[in-house]
Amino acid sequence: MKTPELRILFVFVCCSLLRGGQHIFYRNYPESYSATVDDSLASRMKLQLLPVFSPLIDTAPPQSPYFTAGERRDKFNDKIMFAPQLEFCQHGEPNCPPTVVNDAFFRNAAANLQKGRKQVEDLTRERVPESLEPVRRFLLDNLKTAVKEEEARYKYIKIGDVTPLKAMLDRYCTIGQEDLIRRLEDAPDAETRRELSWHDWHNAILQCYTERIGKYPEEAWKRFVREYHVRESLVPEPE
């Protein structure tokens, strides 16, 4: 599984009242998300968050409040949630995507850390039905871990402190990381540290973490779908 690309997706969410239910539509490419739900669900959660929790579709800012992505497995995605990476930026801004580590990079990186921490606060406070709580808990664990990753990367890139990166490897990975740790320690400059932590270290943590935490709680989602009569589908977008 790859981290979502650093790009803006043309996405929007709209909700409309239908007789006997609510309709949610999330436009994406190459497939959009469409769902109808019981009216009662609108009083128990924000319906705009349904695509975020659903295993059918990936989501991304700025239109969606959260990054989610997964690999398709049968009908569903093995979905997890990511925090904004230090490199995330709006296309058209200077040094986007980053090609040099400088003061502007660290200002942008610090802003992305704040966004990630705010996402943790927001997702923790969101009201969801009890049947959806296992999904929220799973995605929240993903998000908290991803924020810790980016905090560790920021410190490593800025001052070369490899300690927090090694600590996360020790926590989630059991063996076979000696070569990676040596390369992290020997990185000669900030740009090399940024690239190495963004690719090799991040991918190692992601693989170890997803193996440890397990799969998206598909059965919990199915219970939620039955309880609130969620009828969801993917709609191909014209090319």
What is the per-residue pLDDT across 108-140, written as a single tens digit (0 to 9) for each? 999 999 999 999 999 999 999 999 999 999 999
Residue 74 backbone zone (phi > 0: left; psi -120 to 50: alpha; other: beta): left
The per-residue pLDDT for range 62-84, each reduced to its tens digit, is: 778 999 998 876 666 789 999 99
CA distance 87 to 49: 25
How many other C-beta atoms are found inside a 10 Å radius of the C-beta of residue 90?
Answer: 11
The per-residue pLDDT for range 24-74, each reduced to its tens digit, is: 999 888 889 999 999 999 999 999 999 999 999 999 987 789 999 988 766
Please name the residues in contact with 134: beta carbons below 8 A apart, sequence gap of 6 or more: 217, 220
Three-class DSSP category at 143: helix
Residue 144 backbone zone (phi > 0: left; psi -120 to 50: alpha; other: beta): alpha
pTM: 0.89
pLDDT of 19 over the 70 cut: no
The two tokens of residue 201 are 């270290």
